[in-house]
Structure 1
Amino acid sequence: MRILVLGAGVVGTAAAAYLARDGHEVTVVERHDQVARGTSYCNAGLVSPGDATAWASPEALKTFFRGIFNHNLGIRVRLRADPYFYLWSLRFLRQCTTPRLRANSLAKLRLALYARDCINELSAEAGIGYDERKRGIFYFFRSQRSFDTGSANYRFLGEHGLPIEIVGRDRIAEIEPGLAAVKDKIAGGIYSPVDQTGDSRQFTERLAAYAADKLGVVFRFGTTVEALDTEGDRVRAVRTSSGPLEADAVVLCMGPESGLLGRRHGLDLPVYPVKGYAMTVPLEDPSKGPTMGGADEDSLIGYSRLGDRLRVSSTAEFTGFDRNWKPRDFASIFRAAHDLFPGSFDEKKAELWAGLRPMMPSSVPVIGRARYRNLYLNTGHGHLGWTTSCGSGKVLADLVAGREPEIDTQALQYGHE
């Protein structure tokens, strides 16, 4: 089949590679001049099944409302004249129950564990490196109270297939020597040995080169998707800034813009942009930096070691499609990085970035056919887009081919909420 993949982030590029492996004629349409120039450009670098707990929970409900009034929290809610934000928020609030939290977290965990294996298999097949480290991720808490409360979510994931070790203060420096100097500031944490880290932009760029050279994938850069031309129960063509493009099937992987395009064509696709911030800085003294990925659960800070660079990311800001940032937006990130890894970097050398995560109210992505018989969705991956990208692409390729996916996909189907 001739297949158009809309979007060349890590999710769209991985989907294109898996579809091309099946022998399809694949073209990827991307508005930027290169792959991974949107959401996939910069993130915490964590490939993290351990972070599979859904955002919507009874505790998140309280934090969400606090974020309206206190913009120093990891979650910031900036009220604006955006009717869809309020509709999305109502759907998010409906997910903030314990039964929904558990169901959504299990769906994410199942996909994340599968996807981690897919990343490793596909990178080995393509012969690509991406500053990866396969040493696990350490999720830690500053206070005993937050440790006691937060451990419950990880215990739940552990009971359903995630290998974990609950770590006290004395074990911290053994697992992560990079935190030895500050271990007395940490009450305890969770070590997930199957988690790993890596640079999603490097991975996407190198996978795209492999897909083009070895699998025949065509990338059309600088081309904006404007609309879908529909005829009856199918998509006849995609209207773009370069003219119409016809195909036998279309895959929507446009990150936060997926919801905008989908709703224009009658799809109930509640994908909303949530802004995150990240800084990347060279390590002046690598011995003082982390040796693996980590997350400060009290501060909602995630970090990773990418070669001799330190990546630190934070914040979930509800502010529509505003991608702008100011230096003060990174104050908490620098504060946390200096606190955890003192003397390891010069913040004047940091590259600063802000981008939008495509969030579903449930935190569970949508993968599969939707409304039109030749339109497929692969979007809404939220904060686990890098983690789940290759698993999502493989599941999608199976569905397009009429194969039974290797994992249960019921919770990933269109309209699953």
Structure 2
Amino acid sequence: MKVLVLGSGVIGVTSAWYLARAGHEVTVIDRLEEPAMETSHANAGMLSFDHSTPWAAPGVPFKAIRWLTQDLAPLYINPKAIDIRALGFLVRMLGQCTSSAFTVNKERMLRVARYSAECFKVLREELPLHYDGRQKGTLELFRTEKDLAEAGDNVAILERWHIPHAVLDVDACIRHEPALAHVREKIAGGVLLPGDETGDCRKFSLALAKACETLGVTFLMNTSVEAIDTGNGKITGVRTSTGTLTADRYVVALGCESPRVLGGIGIHLPIYPLKGYSLTMPILDEDRAPQSTVMDQKYKVAVTRFDHRIRVGGIAEIAGDNKDLPQQRRAAIEFVVRDLFPGGGAVEVAEFWTGLRPMTPDNVPILGGTRYDNLFLNTGHGTLGWTMSLGSARFVADLVSGRSPDIDPAGLGVDRYR
């Protein structure tokens, strides 16, 4: 079959890979000149297979109010961005901040993330992809004894879901991340998630795109999606800036653009563009740089090690489609890397970047079929696009191919929002 994939971020590229592996004739279209130029370009660099958890959780609304009063905080709201779309998203997300909703959403996220972890292991055995990948886990770092004591609820969740973990004292944290010895007095302990991984998402996406091309996948870049045509319960074509393209089946992997494109054919997705930021810098001193990912639990900022660089990512900002780079946001994430890894990276020359994460109210991606027989969705992954990419892509590729997927599809489709 001919399959048209809309979007060439990590979700679109991984979708193309599995579809091509299944024997389909695959074309990927994107309005930019290369794959992985937007949200996949400079994310935090984490593969959070075991760290996958809903942002919408009991107690979060009260924490959010406190965060909004802090100068250095994980959440910001741009008053100019508060419109019907933002308010609707916030209300729906608040509705998910219950114990019962958290349990349902956590299970769905872990179902996809754990499947994706298996897919990553298989892919590394099949392809010699070079993306600064490391398999050394994530260290959740707590700055005070009080914060460490309050982590008991999170540890209980890890135990409930049988997630491998270890509670570490200060000495154990330093054994895992030796550079922390320079700031010993600033930490109280941590929780290690050994199953998590790290790497450069854009490098991964570009390398996999090259592998896709060897399987015959065509990438039509500089091609904007303008509208989708329908007829008799099916998609009949996609109107683009270079003409109308047709296929037997279609996969939408457009991230934050998905609601705009699909709204025209009556599919309304509750996806909001949650803004995030990152810094990428060369390493100055190996002894003062992290070895994997350190997540500062106070500020929700991740400091991640690549081969010769450090990536610092964090912040959730309600800002609409705005992609400005305000210096106060840079200062917020810059503080963490300077404070925990002083002298480790060349902060002064760091690349400052922002991207829009396609967030759903329940933080679960939207995967699978639609009311149109030949239209499938692979979108809405929020902060976990790379983490869930291979699992989501293989799941959707199986559905496109008419095969039963390896994981239960219940609760992953768009129909859960009806």
TM-score band, normalised by the shorter chain?
over 0.9
Matches within 5 A, 1:174-213: 174-213=175-214
Q: Which residue of 2 aligns with 1:377?
A: 377
Q: Which residue of 1 aligns with 2:368?
A: 368
Q: CA deviation at 1:68?
A: 5.3
Per-residue CA deviation, residues 325-356 of structure 1 (Å, 9 max, x unaligned), is 12332101111101111111222221110010
1:147, 1:189 within 8 Å by CA — same for their partners in 2? yes
1:63, 1:75 within 8 Å by CA — same for their partners in 2? no
Secondary structure (helix, strand or coil) at the match of 2:311 reads strand
Per-residue CA deviation, residues 76-96 of structure 1 (Å, 9 max, x unaligned), is 112335211111111111101
Q: Which residue of 1 aligns with 2:64?
A: 64
Q: Verify: 1:127 aligned to 2:123, yes or no.
A: no
Q: Which residue of 1 aligns with 2:51?
A: 51
Per-residue CA deviation, residues 231-284 of structure 1 (Å, 9 max, x unaligned), is 121110001111100011111100111122222221131111001000000001
Q: Which amino acid aligns with 2:193?
A: S
Name the CA distance, whole Å, in 2 between partners of 1:291 and 1:263: 44
Q: Which residue of 1 aligns with 2:234?
A: 234
Structure 1 range deviating more: 340-349 or 120-129: 120-129
Secondary structure (helix, strand or coil) at the match of 1:129 reads coil
Q: CA deviation at 1:66?
A: 4.4
Q: CA deviation at 1:177?
A: 1.2
Q: 1:204 to 1:151 in 2, by over 3 A?
A: farther
Structure 1 range deviating more: 81-90 or 4-13: 81-90
Name the CA distance, whole Å, in 1 between partners of 2:284 and 2:197: 23
Q: Verify: 1:14 aligned to 2:31, yes or no.
A: no
**Structure 1: where are the runs of 5+ without partners?**
none
Name the CA distance, whole Å, in 1 between partners of 2:56 and 2:226: 32
Secondary structure (helix, strand or coil) at the match of 1:410 reads coil
Q: Which amino acid aligns with 1:206?
A: A
2:178, 2:287 within 8 Å by CA — same for their partners in 1? no
Alpha-carbon RMSD:
1.5
Q: Which residue of 1 aligns with 2:83?
A: 82
Q: Which residue of 1 aligns with 2:161?
A: 160
Q: 1:107 to 1:166 in 2, by over 3 A?
A: same
Secondary structure (helix, strand or coil) at the match of 1:256 reads helix
Q: Which amino acid aligns with 1:375?
A: L
Per-residue CA deviation, residues 126-168 of structure 1 (Å, 9 max, x unaligned), is 2211000111111121122322323422431332232111112
Q: 1:267 to 1:76 in 2, by over 3 A?
A: same
Name the CA distance, whole Å, in 2 between partners of 1:397 and 1:54: 25
Q: 1:71 to 1:374 in 2, by over 3 A?
A: farther
Q: Which amino acid aligns with 1:402?
A: G
Structure 1 range deviating more: 54-63 or 178-187: 178-187
Per-residue CA deviation, residues 287-322 of structure 1 (Å, 9 max, x unaligned), is 210011120111110121110100001100011011
2:309, 2:345 within 8 Å by CA — same for their partners in 1? no
Q: Which amino acid aligns with 2:12?
A: G
Name the CA distance, whole Å, in 1 between partners of 2:112 and 2:246: 31
Q: CA deviation at 1:50?
A: 2.9
Name the CA distance, whole Å, in 1 between partners of 2:336 and 2:50: 21
Name the CA distance, whole Å, in 2 between partners of 1:96 and 1:373: 34
1:67, 1:77 within 8 Å by CA — same for their partners in 2? no
1:123, 1:129 within 8 Å by CA — same for their partners in 2? no
Q: CA deviation at 1:71?
A: 6.0
2:138, 2:193 within 8 Å by CA — same for their partners in 1? yes
Per-residue CA deviation, residues 10-53 of structure 1 (Å, 9 max, x unaligned), is 01100110000000111001111000001000111010123211
Q: Verify: 1:141 aligned to 2:126, yes or no.
A: no
Q: Which residue of 1 aligns with 2:172?
A: 171
2:72, 2:299 within 8 Å by CA — same for their partners in 1? no
Name the CA distance, whole Å, in 2 between partners of 1:168 and 1:411: 38
Q: CA deviation at 1:402?
A: 2.2
1:172, 1:183 within 8 Å by CA — same for their partners in 2? no
Q: Which amino acid aligns with 1:250?
A: Y
TM score, norm. by length of structure 2: 0.96
Per-residue CA deviation, residues 191-223 of structure 1 (Å, 9 max, x unaligned), is 11111101000000000011012x111000000
Name the CA distance, whole Å, in 1 between partners of 2:415 and 2:65: 27
Q: Which residue of 1 aligns with 2:262?
A: 262
2:223, 2:241 within 8 Å by CA — same for their partners in 1? yes
Q: Which residue of 1 aligns with 2:295?
A: 295
1:228, 1:265 within 8 Å by CA — same for their partners in 2? yes
Name the CA distance, whole Å, in 2 between partners of 1:161 and 1:14: 28
Structure 1 range deviating more: 156-165 or 202-211: 156-165
Q: Which amino acid aligns with 1:204?
A: S
Structure 1 range deviating more: 295-304 or 107-116: 107-116
Name the CA distance, whole Å, in 2 between partners of 1:323 and 1:142: 31
Name the CA distance, whole Å, in 2 between partners of 1:269 and 1:55: 18
Q: Which amino acid aligns with 2:322?
A: D
1:52, 1:105 within 8 Å by CA — same for their partners in 2? yes
Q: Which amino acid aligns with 2:198?
A: T
Name the CA distance, whole Å, in 2 between partners of 1:389 and 1:264: 26
Name the CA distance, whole Å, in 2 between partners of 1:184 and 1:406: 47
Structure 1 range deviating more: 342-351 or 297-306: 342-351
Name the CA distance, whole Å, in 1 between partners of 2:167 and 2:415: 36
Q: Which residue of 2 aligns with 1:118?
A: 119
Q: 1:365 to 1:293 in 2, by over 3 A?
A: same
Name the CA distance, whole Å, in 1 between partners of 2:82 and 2:100: 32
TM score, norm. by length of structure 1: 0.96
1:169, 1:184 within 8 Å by CA — same for their partners in 2? no
Q: Which residue of 2 aligns with 1:398?
A: 398
Q: Which residue of 2 aligns with 1:91?
A: 92
Matches within 5 A, 1:13-32: 13-32=13-32
2:44, 2:304 within 8 Å by CA — same for their partners in 1? yes
Name the CA distance, whole Å, in 2 between partners of 1:400 and 1:257: 21
Secondary structure (helix, strand or coil) at the match of 2:50 reads helix
